[in-house]
Structure 1
């Protein structure tokens, strides 16, 4: 293949013209369902359907009460309020889900922003994949993903994985018509978008972009991978099922208690209602999950018919000859009881859990991007927080990846012509010299050599133009060398080789008088300074000299040129970052292709390796690693800190051994050979300048390649888990108080302590808004002081359960006490309450209902602040709150005042700040002030306890 091709590429004007004519290189996703259809799907939940049906029946009863019994028009307020509350809850849930989904759309745009190497205006540069246009000259190397459909202009031992289009894992590509495969799906000199370069390199001219490509014709929108079941998913699913089943039990008891109380505890007919209720909820728990939707709806309808028939039958036997007004009260009470029971299930089931997780992930993903962590798969955010071991490569992650030639040792005084030409032509790297600072494209080690040529006033491009490449053997991790045969500018055919010095030296017949011991000593000295070394050799070829056969060098007259030491300093922030994750209980293991000496020195510099305490048991080479049996490896893997001279599959085997020992493993990698380990790990971390294959296999891309970014990812993951725990604590505390209050209240009075509309509002602020407030809290660096959590540990820790039951039952006892008082005394204000006369049963007034509702809401409102700082040991006044948290606080305050002061008739309460004829009510204002202030004791008591328990 000729190397004398000089590609200019498109000019800026030609790029604009091409994009205008052929479009951008973006795949248009298929149309989604319209928003209104997605919104209507929110009403397909069986519980919402039951509430809607019950709401319709409630409106029917209200019509009867208004037209048939002559009651005033206010009888319509409660059923209308129910529909408004259902609509508000479902609408807000829909809006929040849409917002979260938009935050995840970045995942589907990741590939469009990946950089592609192109020729533009006569120089090499990089552009986002989406900016590639028809006519662009694109340079492709091993590991790259082809950005568009194109025709090859140049290729060297090029093999492409076309399995994404044809199922063929390996297709040879060439520009030589003599080697075209006539049976190939696509021409042998064409490459297609979305396929991957597995070996070799080449140059292509873009023919088609975007939807016009073969990939565009069969494209289906890339969906977010939410199928992965992480430990958190499994914990939350199990917890939600348990809470749901318990809530069914509460609902059944409420239905039975309310109706027996209404019909009379001494009437046996009332007790028969236990049978259909118990049978129905048994079917719901045991059968509904396996039954079809139609069968479930049929069962629900059957229960309604049977239950109402039994209620009517029991009432007829107990109250023979009752008038229409009494019958109306019975039906209204029965319907209201069913709605209260269903609403309690809605409140009890933490529907905000998926939203809390989604919002936490969305918030974490967007913020992590600002810390150079591009999350590609949603489960990785949470799993990163559970990581116990990080297996990291060296170059670019621990080091600066700014390769520079530190020292050269050439022997035999080779001519500059031979030396410089060998470095220039036996390389795939490029330099971009258009900016203030030269930029390397391709292998950074090869780039360091090209920069060394530049320092010696040598133009590598001119050397490549003046030499014709005849044959090439690309570098692989197995061979550890690269070879190129060229027709030199001298007129001779020359074989140039570079690679691992010990391998190159062993291949040479002429060593220029240098012994192996001298070479080994020199290599050891460089490696102990954590330097990368390359050896160089060449051979002038005769007509019959063999060079390359079966992917190996067979030339037997090679001359050793010498050694180059290339340095790559440790990143300045890495030692602190490594110490941070080690202090957080996470072990770090270096997996590198470098020598043990180099790896140890890097380990020393970052604080991982200690000569005084670490032994040979803590380091191993790839050869020794492969000789270990699986049992031996599992026994030793926990002690390993460094694997040197690692081979491609060593890292994958290491990950599998660690996982067998129940470790949660994160792996970094940037090369195609890292893909198996990245896929196998719980979290794969690719580098920003890594290959497309590595990025495709990873879960998170570290944009700046720095290990300190990995530490920040751990902090975000742990903080995310803490946020979900705080939301659970808050939500379940509300559930405990609400469920027990409504249940016990059902056996104490004919009216539920909380109405349907009130409970739906509580569900909205404590579930939906609570999820938003506690899921979007900023991360705390203090989580790095904790140890990694055990995978099998429950998300509800012992301190959480203690707090949940203690606070929840206290709130229940408090509100139940007020409910009992309001049912046995006439209370007109909080200040008058202590002098109220307690007597027989006396149904709550609307104002008493307002007081009870307000007490319940405001105590839990203040507890949200306590949940925010749970287990932090910090004062609520010192902990940073997000802007989103304060926004939710404002919404809850305004919403609660709107309900009690403006929309009170829809919620079965009376205003506190004004009278019904809209005059200021000082008594009610004082009551509201007392409730808000007294309920804030929830916060102050915690602050006082913290002062006494603080170490």
Structure 2
């Protein structure tokens, strides 16, 4: 018999439909020119593979090593240094040229190593679809690599299988798919073949199974309607590729500062060269002076200092369970103004928990959270309860365990659910009341099952009746959607266990009140079967379940907030960081969680600041930024909308941190100023797209990371405040020498010695400074605030003036008393270093005096000062270093004068700090 897919489709090409969820399954099959039973023929499949390409996401090129190395040299300050290398080499100053070139090479190497840790987000997305699939070809089920799938293929779905492509479901047998990574929904979604309207969102398309999602229960078949880049996962792939990683506030400011400083240095060097020529100095000598000025003014240690300071911040964050994948993220966290947080698994535990049980006799609360069977049943006053046998509460909990296909498992002290999370929550609720799985199976062994159906919206099981005298009596247990179960009930259990007529209105009102709290509510019912009503298991089906059930009660559950989430949210808000919940879940559930974690006022009345994906879609580009800025909860949000709202917030001037764990979060994670992924519950795609990964998946870790980020930026600012006076002072002292027609007080090689050794041994010790008190009570830094504030510039200019005056005075003094030029220059060199060491202790706090901070709160300062002292002794007294750097030994009297200059400079700096200190309140 000929295969219809090889003959008919040869003349009629298959065109995958744009909205397969809006068409009947048979029309989708017809459009794809396939066979709903036999699938495609091999020849036709091979042709379509050539036409549509492999079922894989497109690869992207990454920058090669040469390009990454070139990027390290693409900096105006580096250009000036390279020009200095050429000039000094042309003048025959090979030692100077070699030292300057060595500085450039070291800085480039540090940057290259960091840059080599390439982005892997797109590779992570591609790995999600590298799997095998059960496919029907020519009537035979065979296992194929998912890359070989083509539109029109008939795929068999089984429990535990990963969906290999976008499928239109053609058959579903209790099929449920975990789409949390794609849509943010915490519970598996039941699938069926029903036709849906075209405008239905991805999260509500229950007749579709999407690439990268996971089959949790049941089985089914589906026809492939999209592969590779055309899948929903492919759309996210394009969004990730289009969302360019943004520069951080620090890198933007440093780039601006570098350009400004480069222009100033070049102009000053040119002016120096011109003045020298006008004064009749030799061209070679004038060139050397100009190069010395340029080299002196450039903060060569700044790139390395930035990297190392941020790396120390990374280490501190790692100790607090936050792993930073890109160094600038440390600083960005410190300036974050908005955190866009996913709900499921970030603010919540991603573990359904029964919080309340309602029966006609009243409501009972359950303590504990998650899947650990630890907790109690309590009444409204908090008193512990034990359900009386045969009571409505006892039956409600027993049915929740008996009519249940899930299982609890413990591994390394952590509990997890095998199966549906909702059913797992009911198992835990029963265990808290002493009705664990083993006991219930002993009391009421299961004899038959009617599985859950999305049409019926209930599940039923048949058991031996644990309360009957006759051991052959049976009982039907039913659980499911409240409306459907209550509709089938004619009676209900009273408080004393007796039967009475059902009060449907009371039950539905109770369910509505619980749902208003964001709880998911399921109803339970029973029906004893005695005498002629008994059914053999083989005859027990949906039609055998009686219509006159007995309502036992309702179980209301919620994915609970993380224990520290409320405190962390409060801390962020106190620090001036706005927190917004961005989720694919329903608005009611999201709003309830937002109230529990403190994002919304529990006692507030009226509409909450909540926007849905539909609301966002209705807003134009002008209205969106203000609406998103004022919203607190954004629910039912698609991946495109997450990306759009991050861009809108950035357009309002915010520094945005986006947290997430699913595939749908990847584009927004990449676009955000800092992307934060979950390490335990997050997908590899989210981790690879993020700048930081939380090892414990806890939102509270974000607060710790923000605190560490602020501390890192503070320490970086302290380093800049410490290092710039040296560079400015070195440049000015050269300029003074040129203007006065005098010999240079410091040579270019000596300047490089000062800059590189002090930056490493002195300045970098500020990176180990502990966080200042009150760091999380001040507002975030204004993203537009310049790197150098007015107060900081005033301090820098003061110290620069002290360095110029002290070094120039001592240089002239030493020459006037008969010292040689090398000895005078060595004295000036040591003035710079010793004054820097004194100033270092002042830079530990912008306001407090050094003695208030304690000498041993940062022991690395003492280590660094000691190492620098040893280095100064070496460059002053070792003959080999004297020859290389043009230095000479100093007598003891010169060291006393150096100490006097440093003490006077320290006194002036301390006085200035005291005068500028903010006035304390009462």
- For 1:667 and 1:241, locate their aligned partners in 2 and report how far apart those are by CA, in whole Å: 31
Deviations 1:109-160 (A, max 9, x none): 9999xxxxxxxxxxxxxxxxxxxxxxxxxxxxxx996598567799xxxxxx
**Contact 2:253–2:786 (8 Å) recurs in 1:** yes
Q: Structure 1 pair 600/198, CA: closer, same or farther in 2 (3 Å)?
A: closer
1:424 and 2:401 are equivalent in the alignment: no
Q: Which moved more, 1:568-577 or 1:413-422?
A: 413-422
Q: Structure 1 pair 753/86, CA: closer, same or farther in 2 (3 Å)?
A: same
1:349 to 298, 307, 313: 298
After TM superposition, list the pairs within 5 Å mapping 1:603-752 onto structure 2. Answer: 606-610=597-601, 614-620=604-610, 622=612, 625=615, 629-630=619-620, 634-642=625-633, 655-675=646-666, 677-692=668-683, 693-752=685-744
Matched position secondary structure for 2:782: coil
- For 1:88 and 1:165, locate their aligned partners in 2 and report how far apart those are by CA, in whole Å: 50
1:585 to 547, 561, 576: 576
Alpha-carbon shift at residue 247 of structure 1 (Å): 0.6
- For 2:642 and 2:553, locate their aligned partners in 1 and report how far apart those are by CA, in whole Å: 31
After TM superposition, list the pairs within 5 Å mapping 1:234-313 onto structure 2. Answer: 234-263=252-281
- For 1:713 and 1:529, locate their aligned partners in 2 and report how far apart those are by CA, in whole Å: 31
- For 1:935 and 1:482, locate their aligned partners in 2 and report how far apart those are by CA, in whole Å: 85
Q: Structure 1 pair 108/736, CA: closer, same or farther in 2 (3 Å)?
A: same
1:787 and 2:787 are equivalent in the alignment: no
The residue aligned with 1:276 is none
Deviations 1:694-738 (A, max 9, x none): 444443332223332111122222223333322332332222211
Deviations 1:838-882 (A, max 9, x none): xxxxxx633222222222222223223333322567756338765
Alpha-carbon shift at residue 384 of structure 1 (Å): 2.2
Matched position secondary structure for 2:213: strand
1:433 and 2:433 are equivalent in the alignment: no
- For 1:719 and 1:482, locate their aligned partners in 2 and report how far apart those are by CA, in whole Å: 57
- For 1:336 and 1:469, locate their aligned partners in 2 and report how far apart those are by CA, in whole Å: 97
1:910 and 2:884 are equivalent in the alignment: no
The residue aligned with 1:229 is 247
Alpha-carbon shift at residue 756 of structure 1 (Å): 1.6
After TM superposition, list the pairs within 5 Å mapping 1:51-130 onto structure 2. Answer: 51-52=84-85, 81-82=95-96, 85-86=99-100, 89=103, 93=107
- For 2:549 and 2:868, locate their aligned partners in 1 and report how far apart those are by CA, in whole Å: 80
The residue aligned with 1:68 is none
CA-based RMSD of the aligned residues comes to 5.9
Deviations 1:86-129 (A, max 9, x none): 47635754675578679x69x879999xxxxxxxxxxxxxxxxx
- For 1:777 and 1:617, locate their aligned partners in 2 and report how far apart those are by CA, in whole Å: 46
Q: Which moved more, 1:337-346 or 1:238-247?
A: 337-346
TM-score normalised according to structure 2 size: 0.63
**Contact 1:394–1:592 (8 Å) recurs in 2:** yes
Q: Structure 1 pair 739/639, CA: closer, same or farther in 2 (3 Å)?
A: same
Matched position secondary structure for 2:554: strand
For structure 2, list consecutive stretches of 5 or more residues without a partner in the other structure: 1-60, 137-143, 167-181, 183-209, 220-239, 361-390, 465-475, 493-500, 528-534
- For 1:705 and 1:887, locate their aligned partners in 2 and report how far apart those are by CA, in whole Å: 37
The residue aligned with 1:523 is 511
For structure 1, list consecutive stretches of 5 or more residues without a partner in the other structure: 1-28, 60-78, 113-142, 155-161, 185-193, 205-221, 264-329, 474-480, 548-555, 829-843, 913-920
Deviations 1:176-207 (A, max 9, x none): 9xx999999xxxxxxxxx99623534899xxx
1:856 and 2:832 are equivalent in the alignment: yes
Matched position secondary structure for 2:305: helix
**Contact 2:399–2:525 (8 Å) recurs in 1:** no
Alpha-carbon shift at residue 742 of structure 1 (Å): 0.6
**Contact 1:472–1:485 (8 Å) recurs in 2:** yes
Deviations 1:395-429 (A, max 9, x none): 5544555644344457998999995688533x6xx
The residue aligned with 2:335 is 386
- For 1:83 and 1:642, locate their aligned partners in 2 and report how far apart those are by CA, in whole Å: 59
Matched position secondary structure for 1:424: coil
- For 1:524 and 1:788, locate their aligned partners in 2 and report how far apart those are by CA, in whole Å: 42
**Contact 1:498–1:535 (8 Å) recurs in 2:** yes
- For 1:248 and 1:578, locate their aligned partners in 2 and report how far apart those are by CA, in whole Å: 49
- For 1:560 and 1:798, locate their aligned partners in 2 and report how far apart those are by CA, in whole Å: 73
The residue aligned with 2:437 is 458
Alpha-carbon shift at residue 487 of structure 1 (Å): 11
Matched position secondary structure for 2:264: helix
Q: Which moved more, 1:81-90 or 1:247-256?
A: 81-90
**Contact 1:574–1:606 (8 Å) recurs in 2:** yes
2:751 to 732, 745, 759: 759
Q: Which moved more, 1:681-690 or 1:650-659?
A: 650-659
Matched position secondary structure for 1:860: helix
Q: Structure 1 pair 87/621, CA: closer, same or farther in 2 (3 Å)?
A: closer
Alpha-carbon shift at residue 364 of structure 1 (Å): 2.1
Matched position secondary structure for 1:782: coil
Alpha-carbon shift at residue 244 of structure 1 (Å): 0.7
Q: Structure 1 pair 542/234, CA: closer, same or farther in 2 (3 Å)?
A: farther
After TM superposition, list the pairs within 5 Å mapping 1:544-583 onto structure 2. Answer: 563-566=554-557, 570-583=561-574
Alpha-carbon shift at residue 743 of structure 1 (Å): 1.2
Q: Structure 1 pair 562/80, CA: closer, same or farther in 2 (3 Å)?
A: same
1:533 and 2:543 are equivalent in the alignment: no
Q: Structure 1 pair 815/49, CA: closer, same or farther in 2 (3 Å)?
A: same
Alpha-carbon shift at residue 897 of structure 1 (Å): 1.9
Q: Structure 1 pair 95/664, CA: closer, same or farther in 2 (3 Å)?
A: closer
TM-score normalised according to structure 1 size: 0.61
- For 2:639 and 2:399, locate their aligned partners in 1 and report how far apart those are by CA, in whole Å: 31
Deviations 1:737-781 (A, max 9, x none): 111211121121352221121111122135555663344544445
- For 2:320 and 2:424, locate their aligned partners in 1 and report how far apart those are by CA, in whole Å: 28
The residue aligned with 2:52 is none
1:892 to 864, 868, 884: 868
